[in-house]
A and B are shown apart, each in its own frame.
Chain A
Amino acid sequence: MLHSTFGNASVSPKYSEITSVVGKEPPSGLELASCVDASQAPVTVGCFPFPLDPAGADPTGVDVASRPDVLVRTADVGINQLRVLPSLRAILPVIDASFAHGAAAYPTDELHLPVRSREALAEALSELRPMIERLRTLPASIWASTDPRLLLLARLSVRERPLQPRRDPRVPETVRFPDEAIFPGLGLMAERLADQGFLRRVFFDRLTVCPRCASARLSLRELCCSCHSADLKEQAIIHHLRCSAQAPEQDFRQGSRLVCPHCRRDLEYFSVDYDRPGSVLVCGACGHASSDSAVGYVCLDCAAEGDAEQTSTRPVWSYELTEAGRCQVLSGFPLPEADGRPIRERVAAFLAKAKTSREPACILVARLHRGARPARDWEQVCGLFGHVFAETFTIDTETIASPPIFLAFLQGDSKEDVVAELPRIRQALESLLRDPPEADYGVYGLEDVEPLLAGAAG
């Protein structure tokens, strides 16, 4: 434990609070100074890489009481390589003092020290002070929790910031959450928390993605609408006013001169002899000419090619903590189980429930066919269908919308009843849609559910 005084005038003494160090001793030049400021509790700093447990036997052995307030990275080691409690990893702010790869190397770090000095560190700590105050108010149960969802909420709550995606051309999705380094599978987790009301989706961007591999690393370019070559060149249209010959420039071009292909006269004066009333895109591959062009994509990841209209789009959200999410963190209660369990689990749960109740039960499955619908239209149709689908059944009927598949768990109805009712159900569904999609319907009795489970998994 190091104590020294901090007499530097450039740092307000109020914030240059002093610090106890857990674990490894800081490298020279970063001696942690202690400035006695009675109004503030001292900050505990953990410098890593460290064995928090000096014996190094139990990586999570550090007890919550002796946890540091801040972690300082002193060497080029990723946070995931730290053998600490998941809560520490998720919640504690990190100051990067490794000077290893610059700011880009550790995107989850809160601050990067510009120079190796006590002053810099003290300033960083004072900047992090509000965050430290907040994390000190977290209930003990949070520190003991291993539920990544709860820890994610706590992380956002302490930092008072949304979960913000960042553009990253190195991943096929082209955006990712920096926090994913700490929470693997963060995207899905955030979606479920949003469904449960703990996070609020805020629109970030919409990605155009490859219909085959969902990569957003697509190259879009204009194509010849006849042969789909990208070898297009824009050419002026020339109108010879005198003889009303009108054609793309190449028909007129003879070296540096323009000669009318019809009357063989030289075209000399623009707007007297001739006009350029428009332009065409001429294909170098097949010679086709048109003022408009097709737009095609090529996927940089799987090399799939096609018409841009066949691509799908996917919204990307950032997520804000809702009031419910904040309460959850402050209470420290465990999170309820999400209903975003995979379809498979929910089917299995329904099956178990139906078996115990001894009532007849079955599952109605609708599968929509996209056909040639453009992506936006398709999303709209799926959304609308899901809405109508859920409203078609009684209010306590559990339904799942997982486009293009929609399920309804029908308790109390036998398969035969539902099959007989199917035309009516179908009609009711489709009468509410202006442009109903093509759909298959299937009814599965309890004895059929096993193959369905296999299907849903696949």
Chain B
Amino acid sequence: MGGLAETLGTSWRLLWELPGWSVIALFWLTFVAELPRYFLGVQATAAMLLFRERRRHGPIGPLPRVSILLAGHNEEDAIEKCVRSLRQQTFNDFEIICVDDGSTDATFEIMKRLRREGLVEAAIRLDLRGSKPSALNLAASVARGDVFVVVDCDCSFEPNAIEELLRPLAEDPALAGVAGNILVRNWRKSIVSSLQGIEYLVSISLGKAYADVLGQVACISGAFGAFRRRPWMRVHGMDTGGGEDFDFTVRLRMAGYKVAFARHSICYTDVPDTLYALLRQRHRWERDTFWVRMRKYKRLFNPFRQGFRWTETLHQWDFVLFNLLPTVVFPFYVTWLVTTYGGFGIVLLGSVSIFLLSFDVLFFCCALLVSGHFRYWRLLAFVPLFGPFQSYLMRLDRLYAFATEWIFSRSLRDNYTPQKIRDWATWK
């Protein structure tokens, strides 16, 4: 005990004796990457709370016909519950188009039964399994609505989720797409899912609300979002190759369309509850993100390209500065700190974590306020773990994903690779 106190005391004195530039050198990652992230987040929350839109209630204005597109592979356990809960929605003047993408279980039989019951307008069976984006494209090609709502079979919804999701479209004719708010349903299952519960609250409920204020919603999740038909068709629907929802949103934005985030439209999803499953899932997501941003839309970085849009360049640079760069540099930084300062370096990292914890708590509370779902307050107990979880574990996983994508998949993602091979990767 005494030894630890002594080390802390020495560290403290050492810190004060360092010249100013070296303090910056010590903490540059915090200053460059973490503080702005926290700072901006708090700003965002403040903005949300200050300029909180006067939430509109009551029925939404006149809407063109709405089609819900449901694509599933081996979803016999989820599909019926999903359809029935959609039919219980406060807004349910929509058709549901189901596509069974090569299931080997009873999914299609259930879809047919739901069709006979009149709960579903069309049930389409594909004998060969394709990919989720191509299944959604098929659903869109036979749908008769002018607004498409895309949902995942295994999501559940707040009773007014669809109404709230469509509200922005009803109010703003210029909007091409709306992202719904996604929360974690199985947040009590394990520590891993609790931590993701915090993550979803912070990065979606709060993060997207903030991005929305800035007009920077970069991804309408394929799990829950709404699109108008015309833009959908104009950008030729979803593309395969991973990260299709993000890719699709970027194409919409590049075509000049506005997208928004509807934070009152809430759906719940199950997240991986074991660390291994989580790391696998994220590995795939991060690779897809990296591929779409750094390869497919590399040209967006260039401010001199034709049809330059600063909004697109902004979210790309945002990704590089606050995501890619810290991820790549972080291990070197930690190594450098520990080799240079020894035990003092570890104390330093620890105190930074403690310092950031106060931000995490503040941040979490803001997210809670913004989401309005106060029952997640119990997650507060896990907030101290959240910082290290994000900074170390997730960051390492991301680094590994970026590296593998960078090194190995140049040829695999190549446009001349038969798409068939790629498609298999995109269903879970």
A residues sitting closer than 8 Å to B (CB atoms) are 225-226, 237, 239, 241-248, 251, 262-263, 272, 275, 277-278, 280, 287-292, 294
- Docked-complex contact A277 and B127, CB < 8 angstroms: yes
The answer to whether B135 and A280 touch across the interface, beta carbons within 8 angstroms, is no
> In the complex, how many angstroms separate the beta carbon of B178 from the nearest chain A beta carbon?
23
In the complex, the chain A residue whose C-beta lies closest to that of B132 is A244
Residue of B108, B115, B137 touching A225 (CB-CB under 8 A): B115
B127: A residues at CB distance < 8 A: 277-278
The minimal Cβ–Cβ distance linking B101 to chain A, given in whole angstroms, is: 8
Query: B241 — nearest CB in chain A belongs to which residue?
Result: A244
With contacts A246-B137, A262-B237, A280-B142 taken as known, whether A241 is within 8 angstroms of B420 at the C-beta atoms is yes
Determine the distance from Cα of A229 to Cα of B280 in the docked complex, in whole angstroms: 49
Known contacts A239-B138, A277-B129, A278-B126; 11 further A-B pairs (Cβ under 8 A): A225-B115, A225-B116, A239-B128, A241-B420, A244-B240, A245-B237, A246-B141, A277-B126, A278-B127, A290-B121, A290-B124
Q: Are B238 and A244 in contact (CB under 8 A)?
A: yes
- Is B383 in the interface zone, CB < 8 Å from A? no
Contacts of A294 in B (CB 8 A): 116
Contact B236 A243 (CB under 8 A): yes
Contact, CB under 8 Å: B137 / A247 = yes
Number of interface residues of B (CB under 8 A): 35
Output the least CB separation between A310 and chain B (Å). 13
Contact B419–A248 (Cβ < 8 Å): no
On chain B, the residues within 8 Å of A262 by CB distance are 137, 236-237
B138 touches A247 (CB 8 A): yes
Q: Pick the contact of A239: B130, B415, B418 (CB < 8 A).
A: B130
Q: Does A246 lie within 8 Å of B121, measured CB to CB?
A: no
Give the chain B neighbours of A288 by CB distance below 8 A: 121-122, 142, 144
Q: Complex: how many Å from CA A191 to CA B242?
A: 68
Given contacts A225-B115, A242-B419, A246-B130, contact A278 B141 (CB under 8 A): no
Chain B 215-246: CB-based contact to A (< 8 A → 1; otherwise 0):
00000000000000000000011111000000
B115, B133, B142 — most chain A CB neighbours (10 Å)? B142
Tell me if B126 and A244 are in contact (CB < 8 A): no
Instruction: Please indicate the chain B residues that have their CB under 8 angstroms from the CB of A244 in the complex.
Output: 130-131, 133-134, 137, 237-240, 419, 423
6 closest residue pairs by CB, A with B = A247-B141, A277-B128, A290-B122, A262-B236, A244-B240, A246-B138
9 A-B contacts, Cβ less than 8 Å apart? A225-B115, A237-B124, A237-B138, A247-B137, A262-B236, A275-B420, A288-B144, A290-B115, A291-B124
Digit string of B268-279 for contact with A (CB within 8 Å is 1, else 0)?
000000000000
Partner of A290, one of B102, B123, B128, B237: B123
CB-based A-B contact count at 8 angstroms:
96
Whether B128 pairs with A248 at a CB distance below 8 angstroms is no
Interface residues, chain B, CB within 8 Å of chain A? 102, 108, 111-112, 115-116, 121-131, 133-135, 137-138, 141-142, 144, 236-240, 415, 418-420, 423
Given contacts A225-B115, A247-B138, A248-B141, contact A291 B240 (CB under 8 A): no
Cα–Cα distance between A294 and B236 once the two chains are bound (Å)? 32
Interfacial chain A residues near B112, Cβ < 8 Å:
292
Q: Are A246 and B236 in contact (CB under 8 A)?
A: no
Chain B residue numbers with a CB within 8 Å of A291 are 108, 122-125
Contact status B123-A248, CB under 8 Å: no
- CA A247 – CA B122 in complex, angstroms? 14
In the complex, what residues of A have CB within 8 A of residue B240's CB? Answer: 243-244
The CA-CA distance from A289 to B143 in the complex, in Å, is 8
Contacts of B238 in A (CB 8 A): 244
From B111, B137, B418, contact of A241 by CB (8 A): B418
Given contact pairs A243-B239, A272-B418, A248 touches B142 in the complex (Cβ within 8 A): yes
Once bound together, how far apart are the Cα atoms of A275 and B420, in whole Å? 9
A84 to B323, CA, bound (A): 107
Min Cβ gap A306→B in Å is 14
Residue of B nearest to A250 (CB): B141
Partner of A277, one of B115, B122, B130, B141: B130
A245 touches B134 (CB 8 A): yes
Q: Is the CB of B124 within 8 A of A289?
A: yes
Q: Shortest CB–CB separation between residue A246 and chain B, in angstroms? A: 4
**In the complex, chain A residues whose CB is within 8 Å of the CB of B137:** 244-247, 262
Residues of B within 8 A of A242 (CB): 415, 419
**Nearest CB on B from A278, distance (A):** 4
Shortest A23–chain B CB gap in Å is 65
CB proximity of B71 to chain A, nearest CB, Å = 10
Inter-chain CA distance A332–B420, complex, in Å, is 82
> In angstroms, how far is the closest chain B Cβ from the Cβ of A241?
4
**B124:A280 contact, CB within 8 angstroms:** yes
Residues in chain A near residue B141, CB distance under 8 A? 246-248, 251
**Chain B contacts for A292, CB-based, 8 A:** 111-112, 115, 123, 125
CB neighbours of B236 from chain A (8 A): 243, 245, 262-263
Is the Cβ of B142 less than 8 Å from the Cβ of A247? yes
B339: shortest Cβ distance to chain A, in Å? 48
CA A239 to CA B141, docked complex, whole Å: 12
Least distance between A281 CB and chain B CB atoms (Å): 10
Question: How many angstroms from the CA of A225 to the CA of B137 in the assembled complex?
Answer: 21
Which one of A237, A243, A287, A289 lies within 8 Å of B126 (CB-CB)? Answer: A237
**Chain A nearest CB, measured from B340 CB (Å):** 50
Given contacts A241-B418, A262-B237, A278-B125, contact A289 B142 (CB under 8 A): yes
Name B127's closest neighbour in chain A (CB-CB).
A278
A251 contacts which chain B residues (CB < 8 A)? 141
